[in-house]
Amino acid sequence: MTTTVGAAQDAAATAPAGRGASPGPAAVRLAGVSKRFGQAGPTILEGIDLAIAPGEFVCLLGASGCGKSTLLNLIAGLEAPTSGTITVAGPGAALMFQEPALFPWLTARANVELALRLRGVPRAERRDRANALLDLVRLSGAGDKRVHELSGGMRQRVAMARSLAQDRPVLLMDEPFAALDAITRDLLHDELDRIWAETHRTVVFVTHNVREAVRLGQRVLLMSSRPGRIVREWHVQVSGERRIEAPDVSRLSVEITDHLRQEIRRHAH
């Protein structure tokens, strides 16, 4: 699938074997999307044109306040664009926030079961389905634990299982690992990579961490500020095992960081 985004494309290599997007119509499509808060308020997003293929993993980068989270909210249907159109495949998208936002009085399993109940899954099936999702995020022994008994990384895994329980074809992730220590974050990168490969979800992942974006994404999109536009993209190809410390990840991270700094300087005054 050929996608034209913003004003530029870089490193237009195909994705490595095993990480390619599925062919077919776009899972997410934005055409001329702009967002302004209030009639006289600032324009947060302007002229966003973007197509994301089914099964593709796309990372959004940009300075704070550039509209990354707003863009996710628009795709999720939590907000409406001021202009333009947004199309999302199937029943829509599930959104995973930076904070787990789990109900502390419920167990890990019950938090996942709640998402199943809201979907209308019969009560008799919820426990087994919740257990299967906890197995998927490697928390099979933690179903009866309450939130205060879980580490930060475990809470994020429960939040991921709850997002997957919504059974949406598109998973939106808003800096889900930002508050975690480096080792836990690295482990969850591996888990997310595995889950993405197993579930074939389309993932749109917001991060401030350039290396995280290159480690996870098939495409990395750079947003400008004031207003937010997609100004550059990279198709990521990493030889060998994709790790945060891999030489190819490091080299591309340096290149993207240079462009990110230029965007920040451009809007500094």
DSSP string computed for 103-165: -TTSBHHHHHHHHHHHHT--HHHHHHHHHHHHHHTT-TT-TT-BGGGS-HHHHHHHHHHHHHH
In this structure, the answer to whether residues 174 and 232 fall within a common structural domain is yes
Instruction: Give residue-wise pLDDT tens across range 96-125.
Output: 988 899 999 999 999 999 999 999 999 999
- Range among 40-44, 224-228, 253-257 with highest mean pLDDT value: 253-257
DSSP state of 192: H
DSSP state of 31: E
In this structure, the answer to whether residues 192 and 256 fall within a common structural domain is yes
3-state secondary structure of 261: helix
What was the pLDDT predicted at 269? 58
In this structure, the answer to whether residues 240 and 126 fall within a common structural domain is no
In this structure, the answer to whether residues 185 and 124 fall within a common structural domain is no
In this structure, the answer to whether residues 203 and 241 fall within a common structural domain is yes
In this structure, the answer to whether residues 185 and 77 fall within a common structural domain is yes
What was the pLDDT predicted at 107? 96
Q: What is the torsional sign of CA 200, 204, 208, 214? A: positive
Q: What's the rounded Cα separation, in Å, for the pair 77 and 70?
A: 11
Tell me which of 8 and 268 has the higher pLDDT: 268
In this structure, the answer to whether residues 137 and 190 fall within a common structural domain is no
What was the pLDDT predicted at 90? 85
In this structure, the answer to whether residues 81 and 176 fall within a common structural domain is yes
Q: Which of 121, 144, 167 finishes a domain?
A: 167
Task: Using the predicted structure, report yes or no on whether residue 82 has a pLDDT greater than 60.
Answer: yes
Looking at the chain, the whole-number percentage of residues with pLDDT higher than 90 is: 75
Q: What is the torsional sign of CA 240, 242, 245, 251? A: positive
What was the pLDDT predicted at 60? 97
Instruction: Give residue-wise pLDDT tens across range 154-208.
Output: 999 999 999 999 999 999 999 999 989 999 999 999 999 999 999 999 999 999 9
Instruction: Give residue-wise pLDDT tens across range 19-78.
Output: 444 445 899 999 999 999 887 788 999 999 999 999 999 999 998 889 999 999 999 999
Q: What is the pTM of this model?
A: 0.88
Q: Which of 138, 167, 196 finishes a domain?
A: 167
In this structure, the answer to whether residues 192 and 259 fall within a common structural domain is yes
What was the pLDDT predicted at 263? 87
Which residues constitute the domain of residue 105?
101-167
What was the pLDDT predicted at 6? 29
CB neighbour burial string for 108-143, b if at least 16 within 10 angstroms, e if fewer: bbbbbbbbbeeeebeeeebeebbbebbebbebeebb
Q: What is the CATH number of the domain that holds 253?
A: 3.40.50.300
Task: Using the predicted structure, report yes or no on whether residue 3 has a pLDDT greater than 90.
Answer: no
Give the number of domains in the chain: 2
In this structure, the answer to whether residues 179 and 249 fall within a common structural domain is yes
Write out the two tokens for 159.
Answer: 């939040």
In this structure, the answer to whether residues 45 and 121 fall within a common structural domain is no
Q: Which of 167, 193, 219 finishes a domain?
A: 167
In this structure, the answer to whether residues 162 and 37 fall within a common structural domain is no
Mean pLDDT, rounded, for 226-246:
88
Average pLDDT along the chain: 88
Min mean pLDDT across 96-110, 121-135, 144-158, 234-248 is at 234-248
